[in-house]
Amino acid sequence: VISFVGAGPGAPDLLTLRGCDRLGTADIVVWASSLVPAEVLAHTAADALVHDSASMTLEDVLGVYAAHPDAAIVRLHSGDPSVYGAIQEQIDWCMANGRPFEVVPGVSSLGAAAAALGRELTLPGVSQSVVITRLAGRTAASMPPDQSVSDYAPHGATLAVFLSAARPAELRDELLGPGSGYGPDTPAAVVVRASWPDEVVVTTTVGRLADDLAATGATTTVLVLVGPALADLPAARSHLYSPTFAHRFRRRSTPGTTTGRPAIRSGTEPAFRSGTEPAFRSGTEPA
Ligand SMILES: C[S@@+](CC[C@H](N)C(=O)[O-])C[C@H]1O[C@@H](n2cnc3c(N)ncnc32)[C@H](O)[C@@H]1O
């Protein structure tokens, strides 16, 4: 089996248990030293054959797969493989060549950057959408029309900008284009090597973003987050834990009480068996 494993954002303990298991039992590991720190390879068996894909082409990598039809192969991809992971072309090869494969999800740098900031990216009444995007950059031909940063800016949602740190002025200009939902005072953050030992976190504004991003000196392994959800303000509380909001697992509280259902055993969370709990408001999803 060829396992496309999400290596997480960098910290070796942000690999999933399944990813760790696959690494520990792999005969062959292909990893990109440019994106995944060597420490993640500590989970690899001592006798595994390790290839660094940093200098390899897709054809080189597929050549390794083809040469070892019966091996357990792990292809490590930074963060989560589904985000700018370039796994689809490898999956297509597996399908065309009858090679079994699996994808093991990983912790994306999106989550790691939000964690470094100590922020939630989706706040009630502020932002209920997170747009994962990038500047077109050197791979402009890959960018479909109407999907540039300036196309998303009018929404004013939380924006996670990957792969764009080398173009700070271009990023600022796209964020502040005509009709943008952001202004020079909109909060922004630069997270360099989230979860790595030398992680850098800079909180800034869209107006100062270009200068502050350039000042980090980092052009790779940088995630830029933008949007009003990053503001250092108290958030409106969510419906999900509001005593006045009923949902499948909790009744609405009556005034003067703190919870809609009695505690079943002090200190424990009541365990509901799916299908046995009456739906208090059938068909609604708590927000
Ligand atoms: C080829 S993409 C891979 C993204 C990856 N699949 C993920 O889920 O994070 C590489 C880009 O992801 C972002 N990135 C990956 N790891 C990061 C980290 N630890 N800290 C900040 N940004 C990171 C950067 O924007 C970098 O240029």
Could you tell which of 135, 162, 164 is best to mutate to test the pocket of ligand 1, judged by most ligand atoms within 8 Å of the CB? 162
DSSP string, 107-150: --HHHHHHHHHT--S-BTTTB--EEEEE--GGGGGGS-TT-SHH
> Taking each helix axis from N to C terminus, what angle separates 168-175 and 206-216, rounded to the nearest 10 degrees?
170
Distance, in Å, from the CA atom of 7 to the CA atom of 118, rounded to the nearest integer, reads: 22
Judged by DSSP in three states, 150 sits in helix
What's the 201 CA to ligand 1 centre distance in angstroms?
14
One-character DSSP codes across 46-72: TT-EEEEGGG--HHHHHHHHHH-TTS-
Q: Is 107 in the pocket of ligand 1 (CB under 6 A)?
A: no
Q: Which two tokens stand for residue 150?
A: 């300036």
Closest residue CA from atom 2 of ligand 1: 84
| DSSP assigned state of 257 | -
Task: Please tell me the pTM assigned to this model.
Answer: 0.85
Sheet containing 130-134: give its strands across: 130-134, 158-162, 222-226, 187-192, 200-205
Establish whether residue 221 lines the binding site of ligand 1, counting it when its CB lies within 6 angstroms of any ligand atom: yes
Q: What is the pLDDT of residues 237-264, one digit of tens each?
A: 676 777 767 777 776 776 655 554 445 4
Closest residue by Cα to residue 92 from 2, 19, 22, 30 = 2
> Would you say 36 and 65 are in contact if contact means Cβ atoms under 8 Å apart?
no
Q: Is 191 in the pocket of ligand 1 (CB under 6 A)?
A: yes
Mutate which of 14, 40, 103, 221 for ligand 1 pocket (most atoms within 8 A of beta carbon): 221
3-state SS assignment for residue 1: coil
Distance 84 CA to ligand 1 centre (A): 8
Tokens of 68: 């070892």
The Cα–Cα gap between 123 and 224 comes to 18
Task: Compute the distance from residue 107 Cα to the ligand 1 centre, in Å.
Answer: 10
Distance 262 CA to ligand 1 centre (A): 45
pLDDT in tens, the chain (287 residues): 999 999 999 999 999 999 999 999 999 999 988 888 899 999 899 999 999 998 999 999 999 999 999 999 999 999 999 999 999 999 999 999 999 999 999 999 999 999 999 999 999 999 999 999 999 977 777 888 899 999 999 999 999 999 999 999 999 999 999 999 999 999 999 999 999 999 999 999 999 999 999 999 999 999 999 999 999 876 766 767 777 677 777 767 766 555 544 454 544 444 433 444 434 344 455 44
Residue 107: its pLDDT value, please? 98
Report pLDDT digits (tens) over 129-156.
999 999 997 777 788 889 999 999 999 9
